[in-house]
Structure 1
């Protein structure tokens, strides 16, 4: 029933989630990259079209997706053919000495391919954190050449270029509230039929930071409940910082280079493994508190505004009732952050221990919105 409604009202923007699972197991590509391709070739409920589409997507991934261990083989193809299309994550930086932009292709391992400035203006995310793209890489070598022989010819982000909000509101009218909650759960790959009402709300709460500016929350719970999966795979607009040290310059503002850090570039900045967070700068936690309270912070002479939401994800390794008796529910945070003023700035605490550990029956095989459209 939901599948028919989705295919009717969101044609080309839905995908059968078990297809994602089938291909995801073979290719280490983010889900939104896969589903962008599946949405292009498999958006139908006709088995034959789906079969052909799957073959096409597999072929595209096999021929164009660069696996890090095959980088040299692909570089050789680019040299021999003069140019070649690849799917890779592209990050750009400005080389002031040569006065041009240089692209880093993560899997291919090419560090300084010249890239036209027009792409950088069009897709600013290239400068911060990078975007997955379908890129035509060209090769031209001449004696005495200073830069890299690799250059970027054509670049197309594997993300939907524009969003038709009116169409979304119109399509939404065909669904009841309960049905829409199920659609949202299925779009992230979960099967709502096997989840209790309360768990569904927890899964939705994880998604609030994507739509609310400066919304701060934390989820602490046992391992294997899919806490950080959402922030890493579901949206091209969020970044997951895997535990460990970070700096004020990286996160907020780099005073030497006068550029805003991650909070200015992403909708959601999520910290995995909160226990490991530590700032190299003494004032790191203080600036974070300031930002979480007001959406702005002061660095040097400037007050800088940013709208990123902050999410803190961590593991509680003992039963909750024991934890409550011996300490408190925010115990996994590092000592420098255990401060009531910091926790007052959270809008929500998602009880991760109420979300079941992921087992096959919790993953859906039905249709959901492609993650890029959802994002």
Structure 2
């Protein structure tokens, strides 16, 4: 298991490379050019600038998170071919710079969604929170009206540039079915995966967060069956999965440990984090410790160990603790604690003893 740390760039992140290096076992960053819009070809000079900065700090740039997919590709519009070509050129440049894995998602309009970025827990820490009834009661077009009437309005998890185009985007997706999205995903994969294989870059789809439809928009990476179907759309080791325990864990019906055992050879990258799911469907993100949430983090790390996982791993969203002022979910302290918890589990599972010439797991 190779540990990396998410980084949003010098102007968008409070965590420095030096601080990352203080965390035992962190060897690289999971990064992106966050100022490049979806569909744009990434400039080589910007890629090499990040590479130089990271390597000077003793960190690698093997994992990119994410190269976002333009909405025209998800919608299946004729213009998608132009954006797919840009995507290919970006892959080629990233491969030249030494990138091994590209994490991405296929969620329409927005990536993740929460209703509160700073929900207070009983211990006084705060964390990202999802209130299911609040989302279920929102009409997307009424939401757009609120946004247009209030320039300060924000939605947790929605990039400002996307808020400007919400009306047109929701209109565009009005008649798009789940089957349409599957067809458009296959078109993308059939174009991208052979190209990625030529450049020895593994593509790793991230599950939908949360893993169910929202605002009537189709979502397709929500369960073990859906992941299996997606990986079979283009059956190649370069069509892989970013196994995110927090995204998938928001639905307690998801058997994440079973997914690891089934898809082990198709998981080049994993996000490990915990959530506590309530009976009404709400959930809050917790510490990484197993008993603090409803996701079996111990079992997840054990499953990766049993499958000799050699891919990249990062702690995912952390709580806001010790008065840290940071990007919501992406502070230093709780994610550093999470890494040490993951390493503790990993090292415990690595302990073996020899009994009568046989290695036995302790």
TM class, shorter-length: under 0.3
Q: Which protein has the larger Cα radius of gyration, Structure 1 or Structure 2?
A: 1
TM-score (norm 1): 0.26
